[in-house]
Amino acid sequence: LSRPAAGTQRPTLTPDPPRRYEPFPLTDMQQAYLVGRSEGVAFGGVACHTYVEVSAAETDVARIEDAWNTLVDEIEALRMVLTPGGEQRVLATTPRYRIVVDDLRSLDEVARRERLAATRERMATQLLDPESWPLFEICASRLPDELRLHIDLDLLFVDALSMMVVIEQWGRLLQGESLPPRPGLSLRDYVLAEERLRREGAHEASRQFWLERAATLPPGPELPRLPGAVSGATTSRRQR
């Protein structure tokens, strides 16, 4: 069995600004994440999202909010929603995002811990509506000696690596730096180019190659058998 011969020209990635805000298909990974949000699958009914807490070096919430809204204007992924037809689209404009502040300075230590825990539990387990903007939530807790930011980003449109880029650029803005130039190419351009690629003969030849190769690969690990139905599934981080 040999690898299929190369030579077929790949589709050109050409920016299409006039159609930038029109719907386009989800990627395979996005479709998998969407299925996982459904109550109809085992361990479903939960969002694939990232929740983090940050002790902010900048304590001026207005500046933090301004910087975040600049990111929303510049980064299309922060303005994306799911369409009723099961596709995705970038919103041309969005309302200003407001960061709500919970002032805990007048509470005693026990009450502060309870309020922080309640915010953490709510945001770490929430399931945002993918058809409604925004697919993120940011709020703040003002403590006697710090400003705690609570950040929840849904990974349906911003994956883990992209989230790191977003946080890094947020910090640059707060330090008075400028953002890199906005790319001319959009995710929509890329996804549609990949769709065209899937219709070419070279793609089918590659798919057939790996289907035949799969029969010769070692099997996957034997995982424990899971219960048929689980409701209210949660995840927790373990380390050793």
Q: Where are the beta strands (DSSP E) in the chain?
A: 49-55, 80-82, 88-90, 100-103, 136-143, 146-154
Query: Considering just the CA atoms, what is the radius of gyration of the chain in Å?
Result: 22
Would you state the pLDDT for residue 227? 66
Asked if residue 87 lies in contact with residue 21, where contact means CB atoms within 8 angstroms, the answer is: no
pLDDT band at 170 (very low <50, low <70, confident <90, very high): very high
Picking from 51, 161, 36, 148, the residue whose alpha carbon sits closest to that of residue 103 is: 148
Q: Cα 104 to the chain's mean position, in Å?
A: 30
Out of 37-51, 66-80, 132-146, least confident range:
37-51
How far apart, in whole angstroms, are the C-alpha atoms of residue 179 and residue 70? 9
Asked if residue 153 lies in contact with residue 78, where contact means CB atoms within 8 angstroms, the answer is: no
Would you state the pLDDT for residue 4? 47
On the question of pLDDT at 231 being above 60, the answer is: yes
On the question of pLDDT at 7 being above 70, the answer is: no
- Name the DSSP class of 185: S
Would you state the pLDDT for residue 112? 97
How far apart, in whole angstroms, are the C-alpha atoms of residue 162 and residue 54? 17
How far apart, in whole angstroms, are the C-alpha atoms of residue 66 and residue 78? 15
On the question of pLDDT at 2 being above 50, the answer is: no
